[in-house]
Amino acid sequence: MAKIDPSAVDVRPRGRSRRRLLQLLIAATAVVGAVGLMAGPASAAQTCTGAADSNLCLAINGLGGNTFAVHVGIDVHMSLEKAQEYIDDPGDPFIVWIRGDDSGSLAEFLFTVPRTALGASAESGLSGDFDITVPGSLLNEDTGQDEIRAQVFLIDTDTTHTDATFVSNRIVGNWS
Ligand SMILES: [Ca+2]
Ligand SMILES: [Ca+2]
Ligand SMILES: [Ca+2]
């Protein structure tokens, strides 16, 4: 076996390349994940708006046993200072509803999605994550095929004024 001289090992480039490799792996995983979702069954779906003022994502993943994990994530682009102001106000700056979509228009209210994370950053503005696990019956908004959208209200809780409303793209399923 060859002897290794520890002083000959330069750890800095190795650490850097390892981090770079990790970044590549994360990027690759994200691409594979996205392709997998699109090609997969209707039980796993995600859609994001990527709008100029915000990015609103809705994801529904089947967990088996007719239960579904519903995830909503939103970035509302604004200054860090403004985002922090929303966070510092008492109460939740976001209210998230899941609604049916009939003929392309928002229809029946189905349920609210509770907050799991809230943050402010210079890159994204005001960000929130919302998660709930529901039985398929709660997503069953029509006989036969169902269309689901998330509707997000941005509230200034100081004044209870609704500053903005965002609507996700829809996810189509066949829940019961
Ligand atoms: Ca519908
Ligand atoms: Ca409906
Ligand atoms: Ca249905």
What value does the mean pLDDT take over residues 45-70? 97
Tokens of 58: 């809705």
Check whether residue 66 and residue 141 sit in a common domain: yes
Q: How many domains does the chain have?
A: 2
Q: Which ligand minimizes its atom distance to the CA of 139? A: 3
- Residues at Cβ < 5 Å from ligand 2 ion: 100, 102, 107, 141-142
Residue 120 lies in domain: 42-173
Gap from CA of 158 to ligand 3 centroid (Å):
39
Average pLDDT over residues 135-156: 97
| pLDDT, greater one: 12 or 133 | 133
15 and 96: one domain?
no
Per-residue pLDDT tens over the stretch 74-111: 999 999 999 999 999 999 999 999 999 999 999 999 99
Could you report the per-residue pLDDT of 24-44, keeping only the tens digit for each? 444 444 444 443 333 334 478
Cα 165 to ligand 2 centre (Å) = 21
